Amino acid sequence: MALKVGKRYQCEQCGTEVLVTKPSGGDLSCCVVTMQQLTPKKTASAD
């Protein structure tokens, strides 16, 4: 899995969040578990 700049990842065990600042070809892990990429939250429309 390639890590892309600007993507956020979270540990499901302890809740630690990481923001990627440099691209990489590896995986992020915390608490001996691979971190999951967070999906962007939808914002309300300003219509």
Count of Cβ atoms closer than 10 Å to residue 46 Cβ: 4
Q: Which residue has the higher pLDDT, 45 or 30?
A: 30
Q: How confident is the model at residue 7 (pLDDT cuts 50, 70, 90)?
A: very high
pLDDT for residue 26 = 86
- Claim: this prediction has a pTM higher than 0.85: no
Residue 3: inside a domain, yes or no? no
User: What is the tally of structural domains in the chain?
Assistant: 1
Residue 24: inside a domain, yes or no? yes
Is residue 47 over pLDDT 70? no
- Residue 7, classified by CB atoms within 10 Å of its CB into exposed (0-12), middle (13-18) or buried (19+), is middle
Residue 41: inside a domain, yes or no? no
Residue 26: inside a domain, yes or no? yes
What does pLDDT average to over the chain?
A: 88
The phi and psi torsions of 8 (rounded to 5 degrees) equal: -110, 145
* CA atoms 35, 7, 21, 25: torsion sign: positive
Distance of CA 1 to the CA centre of its chain: 12
